[in-house]
Amino acid sequence: EAQVTQNPRYLITVTGKKLTVTCSQNMNHEYMSWYRQDPGLGLRQIYYSMNVEVTDKGDVPEGYKVSRKEKRNFPLILESPSPNQTSLYFCASSLMFSTLGGELFFGEGSRLTVL
Amino acid sequence: GQSLEQPSEVTAVEGAIVQINCTYQTSGFYGLSWYQQHDGGAPTFLSYNGLDGLEETGRFSSFLSRSDSYGYLLLQELQMKDSASYFCAVSLFSGDSGGYQKVTFGTGTKLQVIP
């Protein structure tokens, strides 16, 4: 089954304790991206990657890191989480965008709470 | 910077037609997408417009006018299951990595379908 898998789905942590949210896709997609969703603010892009070893900042990259060492995996790293990073996080993937379109496939989301 | 505007809430009657508008101010515009998200779920792709005009997919249609920086999603024969949040999203050229993969979402329109 074609899917994007995120882990963990739910996490409660404390300020400053490094954590990693994993994301893996089995569709051989070049493009992967991370979003956070907060009430009233919609989905805001954190980082995206066009292919292995190619990453770029989205609209809200502060406090986050990513890496793309393999095509299928795109982990999101919070080196020193703070309470304002409490949010619902989505990973998404797609074939390369083109004039024909670019459907994003989303994972089920990871709800993170930082105390 | 970029901005997208869409109504925050819309209410419509089952069986009716509803139009959700999206206006955008961006640089490097490439295309406009629409996503549906039910409460507690992940966003799912509905449609993409890379060129001006109307795209039809079953009960859903989407329209784009690049000259007006405007698009809309049209839902026909509304069903109760259409109650969800709908997001427009713009795909943008990004010069950082020489590609065009940045995707920015609007804040979403919550559609309530009533009997």
Contact (CB<8Å) A57/B106: no
Q: What's the pLDDT at A97?
A: 60
Interval A53-69 mean pLDDT: 93
Checking if the pLDDT of A100 tops 80, the result is no
Label residue A54 by pLDDT band (50, 70, 90).
confident
A52/B contact by beta carbon, under 8 A: no
By C-alpha distance, the chain A residue nearest B110 is A40
Q: Are strands A76-78 and A4-7 parallel, antiparallel or unpaired?
A: unpaired
For the segment B57-81, what is each residue's pLDDT rounded down to a tens digit?
A: 899 999 999 999 999 999 999 999 9
Q: Report the residue of B52, B93, B103 to disrupt the A interface, i.e. the one with the largest count of A CBs within 10 Å.
A: B103
Checking if the pLDDT of A48 tops 80, the result is yes
Label residue B54 by pLDDT band (50, 70, 90).
very high
For the segment A4-22, what is each residue's pLDDT rounded down to a tens digit?
A: 999 999 999 999 999 999 9
A42/B contact by beta carbon, under 8 A: yes
Listed residue (A2, A49, A48) closest to A25, CA to CA: A2
Q: What's the pLDDT at A13?
A: 95
**A39 CB-contact burial (10 Å; exposed 0-12 / middle 13-18 / buried 19+):** exposed
Label residue B26 by pLDDT band (50, 70, 90).
confident
Q: What's the pLDDT at A101?
A: 64
Q: Report the residue of A4, A96, A104, A105 to disrupt the B interface, i.e. the one with the largest count of B CBs within 10 Å.
A: A104
Q: What is the dihedral of CA B92, B97, B99, B102, to 10 degrees?
A: -30
Interval B70-96 mean pLDDT: 91
Which residue in A40, A43, A54 is closest to B43 by CB distance?
A: A43
Q: What's the pLDDT at B105?
A: 92
Cα-to-chain-centroid distance, residue B32: 7
Q: Note which residues in 76-95 of chain A have CB less than 8 A from chain B.
A: 90, 92
Instruction: Assign B82 to helix, strand or coil.
Output: helix
Calculate the alpha carbon distances from B69 to A32, A49, B60, B72, B78 in Å: 26, 26, 20, 11, 26
Percent pLDDT > 90 in chain A is 77
A34/B contact by beta carbon, under 8 A: no
Q: What's the pLDDT at B71?
A: 97
The tokens describing A44, both together, are 């805001």
Label residue A98 by pLDDT band (50, 70, 90).
low
Listed residue (B102, B14, B26, B10) closest to B64, CA to CA: B26
